[in-house]
Amino acid sequence: MAGGGASEVFFKGASQRRDRRWALVASYACLTVFVIFFLFPPYYMLVTSLKTNAEIAALNTNPWIIEQGMTGAHYVHLLTETAFLTFFKNTVIVTVCVVAITMVVSVLAAYALSRLKFWGSGLLATGIFLTYLVPDSLLFIPLFKIVGALGLLNSYWSLVLVYPTLTVPFCTWIMIGYFASIPRELDEAALIDGANHMQMLLKVFIPVALPGLIAATIFAFTVSWAAFIYPMAYLYSTDQLVLTVGTVTTLIRGDVFHWGGLMAGALLAAAPPVILYAFLMDYYIAGLTSGATKG
């Protein structure tokens, strides 16, 4: 098995070409195993969501394939007779607001921290990194009291207040990386061309760092959509719930045969981030790894 990425350089002769092909086959085989491992749960969720209740309950069928005909009944039931669409609406509202807030705060702060050196800028940059030491599972309790004091308990607006703690630090960090990679001469050319700081940010920095912006937006979206502990702690009424909590807590009924609907709900709730990812995968990955190559 070849280690490192320089395999092509070393395999020239015929026997080495055979080695190389064997190594390639081994790689593909391993990758297939990995892909099966990573994709079988969502696959199974999909299969279950399309099965009839009878088939799900029957113990003698192969659970991995649909033998008795597909049905969309679970999805129909989900969309028409549960509060799923309410959850969806709430989640969209919260996510859109949080993404907007996050991007404005992060971009402004990242521009100031990467370009306008001022007293304490280094301190603040380190401070952002340190916020990772205070995870949501620590903050949710004191914030519970604070949100209560603000009268926002059991309202999804509490999430709009609290989610930026999850998204802003990382998004700022991403944007600082992208802004820092813009050569200073571009600033100076813009200065001489007559731009003030706002114009420089809007007309030069943002367009040039657009990939970073897209990556940060996707990240903020995905995190907001998937957040779980905060809505679990702060929301009670069905009409206020977001998708993650709503699917987990309300779609489980007492009887055994709710699995089809539950899987349908889980898949539909998970769909937006996955679709976003499918289209913008490269930006997402680039944003995540922008720190990897610089360390």
Partner 1 sequence: MSTQTAMDSGRRAAAAPPGGLRRLMQRRSTIAVMMCVPLLAIVIGLIAYPFLYALFLSTLNKAETKFVGLDNFFFLFGRNTFWMVVYQSVLFALTAVVFKVLIGFAAAHMVNNIPAKGQRKWRGMLLVPWVIPPALSTLGWWWLFEPTYSAINWVLEQFAAPAIPWLSDRFWARFSVILVNVWFGAPFFLIMYLAALKSIPEELYEAAAIDGASAWQRLVHVTLPMMRNIIAITVLFSIIVTFANFDIVRVLTQGGPRNSTHLFATYAFRLGIETGDVPLGAAVSLFMFPVLAVFAFIILRNVRRRAREI
Partner 2 sequence: MAGVVLEKLVKTFDRTEAVCGIDLDIADAEFVVLVGPSGCGKSTTLRMIAGLEEVTSGAVYIGGALVNDVPPKDRDIAMVFQNYALYPHMSVYENMSFGLRLRKYPKAEIRRRVAAAAEILSMTDLLDRKPRQLSGGQRQRVAMGRAIVRDPQVFLFDEPLSNLDAQLRAQMRTEIKKLHQKLRTTTVYVTHDQIEAMTLADRVVVMKDGVIEQVGTPHELYHHPKTRFVAGFIGAPAMNFIACRLARNGDNLEIRLADSLTLAMPTDRAARYEAHAERDLVLGLRPEHITEGGPGNGGGSGAALPVTLDVVEPLGRETMVYFTLAGTELCGRVSAETAARAGDSLTLSADMTHMHLIDPDTGAVL
Q: Which of residues 152-191 bind partner 2 (CB under 8 A)?
A: 183, 185-186, 188-191
Footprint of partner 2 on residues 210-229 (CB under 8 A)?
210
By the rule CB under 8 A, 194 interacts with partner 1: no
* Cβ atoms 179, 205 nearer than 8 A: yes
**Residue 108 site contact among partner 2, partner 1, none (CB < 5 to 8 Å, cut-off depends on kind):** partner 1
* Cβ atoms 265, 252 nearer than 8 A: no
Angle between helices 243-250 and 210-226 (to 10 degrees): 20
Considering only the stretches 79-87, 123-131, 176-184, 185-193, report the one whose residues sit in contact with partner 1 under the rule CB under 8 A. Answer: 123-131
Task: Build a one-symbol-per-residue string for 3-32: x at contacts with partner 1 by CB under 8 A, - elsewhere.
Answer: xxxxx-xx------------xx--xx-xx-
Considering only the stretches 125-133, 150-158, 179-187, 202-210, report the one whose residues sit in contact with partner 1 under the rule CB under 8 A. Answer: 125-133
Q: List all residues 6 or more positions away from 237 whose beta carbon is below 8 Å from its beta carbon.
A: 154
* Cβ atoms 259, 34 nearer than 8 A: no
By the rule CB under 8 A, 216 interacts with partner 1: no
By the rule CB under 8 A, 142 interacts with partner 1: yes
Beta carbon of residue 207, minimum distance to partner 2 (angstroms, whole number): 4
By the rule CB under 8 A, 8 interacts with partner 2: no
Report how far Cα 143 is from the mean position of its chain's Cα atoms.
Answer: 23
Determine the Cα–Cα distance for residues 94 and 54; give it in Å rounded to an integer.
Answer: 38
Angle between helices 243-250 and 84-115 (to 10 degrees): 150
State which residue, 221 or 283, has the beta carbon closest to partner 2: 283
